[in-house]
Structure 1
């Protein structure tokens, strides 16, 4: 990956709806070489896809919590991961080294909705030993393009 590829990625990370023509202009390439580079980045898996970034608050999801999960033992990992993947309010789940075992990013309409989700779904996940949560007060950095960390 060279400097031009990084420029292409930075532009697409800022605006994934750019046409190849617009992208080529921004990075200083002609259309065909720019298109070949984008296709190569897609085929290599560097670009995994394109999607719209949605505003949670505009969708009525004004409550965000971080839920820390510790499992009883490692035999529960596969069942837990399968079950947590089915909880639509979990927008990100990460397995961690050490304790806790997992960090879940959960969105809900409000505190009562989160409490119902917590009581009715999250506490019934398989292999659960301990679960704690904290509320997100404010997003400070959100969806920063990965290209910022490449330098």
Structure 2
């Protein structure tokens, strides 16, 4: 991976629909096919895992954002077993296993409080869970915006403003 690849990644993280020609112009490469080949290689290397649309889910009535902290009951393979069950929760958008007093954090997006109560009923039915603690989000200022991470710093490379 070189500085051109890093520039391409930075540009795609901000606008995944940017035309190849524009990416090339900003990277100093005149050939859109050369940019396309680099992007294909980054996908093959699993550096680019996917390119997704950012959807405004509130347009579909999904406005109830909740963060739930889960304390699990410890036993053999409990994280694998419980994570598989947690992934079945309606509206789950994030599942994290963390260290400390809490074992898992889930973030869900549902239509309303009643829809979230169904999730809580499911959670309370799971033998692997000791307790839960939920927080309702009243304002979402930023949720998982990885485009703000400057990967060039990891390589001590200064990428000029694109």
The TM-score normalised by the length of structure 2 is: 0.83
Q: Deviations over 1:85-129 (max 9, x none)?
A: 12231111000012200000011111222123212x122234010
Cα drift, residue 11 of structure 1: 1.2
The C-alpha deviation readout for 1:34-65, integer Å capped at 9, x for no partner, is: 12221221111110011111112112110111
1:60 equivalent in structure 2:
61
Give runs of aligned pairs for residues 58-137 of structure 1, distance below 5 A: 58-75=59-76, 76-119=78-121, 121-137=122-138
2:139 maps to what in 1?
138
Change (3 A) 1:134 1:47: same
Matched position secondary structure for 1:134 = strand
What runs of 5+ residues in structure 2 fail to find an aligned partner? 154-162
Match of residue 14 from structure 1: 14
List alignment gaps of at least 5 residues for structure 1: none
CA contact (8 A) 1:65 1:106 kept: yes
Normalising by structure 1, we get a TM-score of 0.88
Contact 1:6/1:147 (<8 A) preserved: no
- The ranges of structure 1 where at least 4 consecutive aligned residues each deviate by more than 3 angstroms after the TM superposition are none
Contact residue 20 and residue 34 of structure 1 kept, 8 A: yes
Judge conservation of contact 2:98–2:105 (CA < 8 Å) in 1.
yes
Question: How many residues get paired?
Answer: 150
- CA change 1:146–1:111 in 2 (3 A) is same
Partner Cα distance (1:147, 1:8) in 2: 14
RMSD (Å) for aligned C-alpha atoms: 1.7
Q: CA deviation at 1:147?
A: 5.6
